[in-house]
Structure formats: C-alpha cells, structure tokens
Structure 1
Amino acid sequence: MNLAEGVQIVSFGLLSVMMIGAALGVVLFSSIVYSAFLLGGVFISIAGLYLLLNADFVSAAQILIYVGAVNVLILFAIMLVNKREDFTPIRNRWIRQGSTGLVCVGLFALLGTMVVRTPWALSSLPHSLESTIVQLGEHFFSDFLLPFELVSVLLLMAMVGAIILARREYIPEEIVSELAQTKALTLQERPRELLTVGTESTKLPVDTNT
C-alpha cells in the first residue's frame, strides 16, 4: 500500500463516519433546525465520496443542487414558518417505534449483505485520465441527444405552466365591489368640553365628523 491508497482509505473512513453520524443526528435530534443543518453535512459527505470515485461532475452537482439549493430551501422554509410545537404523547407509541426500528434494521442488513457479497474487483484496464465532464458532454450531445432535449422541453413546459398558474390578469368583480363598500377604520376622537361664558359650565360633546 502506497501513500495515495492510504490517504484514500483514511478519507473514505472519515467521510463515512461523518455521513453516518450526521444522518443519525438528522433522525434523532428534536430540533428541526439542527436536523436541517446536519442534512447539509450528509450531502457534503456524499459529495466527498463521489470525489474519491473520480466523479468530479457528480460531486460538484451534489454540492450545487442538494447543498446550495435543496438544503437552503429547507432552511428558508423552516425559518419562515417558525412554528414551535411540542410533541404530544401518542398511545401505543412503542409499537410504531419498534416497527420503524425493525424496518431500519432489515434495510441495513439487506444493504450490508449486498455490499459484502458483491465482487468489488478492480479493473485491469488502463485508467483514462480524461475528465468525466468531457465524457458526459460527449454522451449528452451524441448518444443521448434526444432524451436530453426532451428533458429540456419538459422543464420548459413546467416553467410555462407555473407562470400561467401564477398570473393574475384581472381582479374579480366581487372583490372590487367588496373593496368599494369597505371604509377605512378610524379611531374615534374623545369628546371635547365647551365652557360657556358665566359661572356655570356645561359639557357639550363636539361632533368630530363635521
């Protein structure tokens, strides 16, 4: 084992521990804000694993899309809602927790068995030093040109549909009539006291509307 392989093994171990710890924090923390921040740590760890596999484009897309867009959107939604709600006790809660634990253990055992029994043999072919971005670009504009263009048209249709749903070209007549009938609310002034010429004083309210 040379130095490069040792660095890769150590980096893989650190990223794996970081990803598993952050994932457990997302599930176990009671604060949703902390869970959202730890979810960003999970995404960054996955991007580091992609980088160790020489998938630089997938790693950059992981950081830009999931960390820079999805995780930030989740944090904005949490901060804007800002709703604090305590957990209410649920009857027979241990049944739900037990079933959830069994499902998680079953999935972990299934994935672990798959990882152990899969022959992870290294390829004896000479490794190409060409960037994956160049290879993806060649495949996108040669072999997969039609699906790539169809996805672009689909995204354009979704954007046009969102714009049409968000547009408000007119205001219904019912809303206009309701706005015309409503009056501005004003605070009523305190009646003033008027003094007459003489020894006795009378208190007359003044009409503030005139």
Structure 2
Amino acid sequence: MNLAEGVQVVSFGILAVMMIGAALGVVLFSNVVYSAFMLGGVFVSIAGLYLLLNADFVAAAQLLIYVGAVNVLILFAIMLVNKRQNFVPFPTAWVRKALTAVVSLGLFALLSAMVLSTPWSYSTATPVGNPIVVIGQHFFSDFLLPFEVASVLLLMAMVGAIILARREYLPEQIVPSDLPQTVLTLPERPRELVPAGSDKQE
C-alpha cells in the first residue's frame, strides 16, 4: 500500500465514523434542531465519500442541494413553527421504539449481507471525457421521469415547510386580576372656543 492508498483508507475511515455518528445523533437527539444539524453532518460526510470516488460533480450537487437547500429548509421550518408546548411521551412509547429498533436492525442486516455478497472489483470501463455532459444527457433521456419526480418532491417539501411555518398571531390570554385598573391620563389645557369669522389675535 502506497501513501495515496493509505490516505484514501484513513479518509474513508474518518468520513465513515463521522457519518455513522451523525446518523446516530439524528435519531437519538430529543431536540429536533440538533437532529437537523446532525443531518447536515451526514450529508457533508456523504459528499466527502463522493470526493473519494472521484465524483466531484455529485459531491458538489450533494452540498448545494441537500446541505444548502434541503437541510436549511428543514431548519427554517423547525425554527419558524414556534411550538410552545413540550412533547409529552406516550405511555406505550417503548413499543414504537422496539419496533423501530427491529426494523432498523433488519435493514442493517440486509445491507450488510448485500455488501458482503457483492464482488467489489475494479471495473475496466473506459473513462468518459466530460462526466457532467454524460450525466446531463442521462438526466434528460433515460432518467427524465425520476428527475422530474425529484423536482416535484422538492417542491412538495418546500410547500410543506411553508405551511408548517405559517402561523396565526393570536393574542395572549389576559389573566383576570382583582387589582383596580388605573388609567393614566395627561392633563390637557382647556381649549378656548373661538367664534367663526372672528379676527381675534393673541
């Protein structure tokens, strides 16, 4: 193993640990704002993995779309909701947590089996001249329908965030009090009635 391969292996290990730790923070933090920030860390780690695969355009798209647009939109939606009451845990919340753990472990086992059974060998395909042009051609020919569905999905996410952030400004409830309410008034100078048409000058 030469120096370049060693740097790639170490970088992959650091990015993998960052991604797994941030993903655990997304699901384990009780504060949704912290979870949204950890989700941004997951997206940044994935962009770093794309860079290790020499997919610079996909890494830039990951940072621009997911970190710069989707994650920021999620943060704005969370912070603009202005929820005043805290979450109240349900009595049977442990059932949901147990089911979530079972489903997550099943997906992890399925993905691990797929990774172990896949022959990860280097392909001998000829490199293309400009990968951005090839990606654009595939987007608007073979993958046109998924590309349009993804744009509609992002539009729905933006509309949902706007609806969640929209709130009515309701006045606070006034607590009745037994104390007498005093109205502060300023003394006014008595006005002198001037008859119309008079040329009285002071």
* Interval of TM-score (by shorter of Structure 1 and Structure 2): 0.5 to 0.7
Partner of 1:25: 25
Instruction: Confirm whether residue 133 of structure 1 aligns to residue 155 of structure 2.
Output: no
1:139-150 paired onto structure 2 within 5 Å: 139=138, 144=141, 147=144
State the distance in 1 between where 2:138 and 2:126 align.
19
Instruction: Confirm whether residue 83 of structure 1 aligns to residue 83 of structure 2.
Output: yes
Say which SS state the counterpart of residue 62 (structure 2) adopts. Answer: helix
The CA deviation string for residues 14-48 of structure 1, in whole angstroms up to 9 with x for no partner, is 11100010010011111111111111110011111
Instruction: Confirm whether residue 118 of structure 1 aligns to residue 118 of structure 2.
Output: yes
AA aligned opposite 2:132: I
1:28-107 paired onto structure 2 within 5 Å: 28-107=28-107
AA aligned opposite 1:94: W
Contact 1:56 1:132 in 2 (8 A): no
Q: Identity over aligned residues, as a percent? A: 64
CA RMSD, Structure 1 to Structure 2 (Å): 3.2
1:194-209 paired onto structure 2 within 5 Å: none
AA aligned opposite 1:81: V
The CA deviation string for residues 119-169 of structure 1, in whole angstroms up to 9 with x for no partner, is 11112x26527442132245457xx18948x949x97xx8xxx9xxxxxxx
State the distance in 2 between where 1:13 and 1:75 align.
28
Unaligned runs of at least 5 residues, structure 2: 160-182, 189-202
Shift of 1:88: 1.5
Q: Which has the higher contact order (CA 8 A, sep 6+)?
A: 2
TM-score by length of 1: 0.64
The CA deviation string for residues 48-67 of structure 1, in whole angstroms up to 9 with x for no partner, is 11111122211111110110
Larger Rg: 1
Partner of 2:179: none
Shift of 1:96: 1.8
